[in-house]
Amino acid sequence: MALQALIFDVDGTLANTERDGHLVAFNLAFKELGLDWVWSNELYHELLNVTGGQLRIKYYLKKYNTEFHHDDLDNFVASIHKLKTSIYVRLMDEGAVPLRPGVARLFQEARAAGLRMAIATTTTPANVVALISNTLGKEALGWFEVIGAGDVVPNLKPAGDIYSYVLDQMNLDASECIAFEDSRNGIVSATHANLKTIITVNEYTDTHDFTGAIVILNNLGEQDQPFEMIEGNPTESTFVDVAYLQELHAQHC
């Protein structure tokens, strides 16, 4: 069965939004609310094991800030996350986070080749819109047939719900697609939906277990900036383009 579609995670996969966007926004939100919470890069590394911003805050309170109490914790955490999202969008508007190497190029090449594209992420729709609009332009949102984001499904990654949702909306079988991820939770989610998955690691995920990935790379690469293959079959390709994706897809049908 021929390759028909590419499905992309967002945070860490398309851009280093975790370090340069979300972490900064969380700390700015805490400060604005008069909280003395400060998340270091090292702490955030661990907190990223929990998917979803509100669940991440609750995990932090349960493990690292046990003396903090609030009579209505759920609504308080929701208000923090709402403020953090608005700050994140502002950071995106200011151009704080560029796309990772090869991402914009691959989008254009996939469109030219007639491949369908979609997004499957646990981040909020507003965050997706902010990143895409401010790196590629608002019209680029139309490049994605489906944007599966936020709480459109009941269970976040590592559950496979978001990928199953996207596949259902596109009326595609998993065998016709390739997913792009950067984390352990991400590949577990994609694998639950039976998707073949390319991993591009980042500083938070380069030690994760990526069992099941069809290839593990440091990034998608550019013509003048070859990718580093961390794990995968030998290839003459030096950057991820449509021809390489078709090669990978054929190898793993």
pLDDT tens-digit readout, 157-179: 999 999 999 999 999 999 999 99
Report the mean per-residue pLDDT for the chain. 96
Percentage of residues in the chain with pLDDT exceeding 70? 100
Q: How distant, in Å, are the alpha carbons of 99, 115, 136 from that of 108?
A: 13, 10, 11
The pTM is what?
A: 0.91
- Catalytic sites, residue numbers: 9, 11
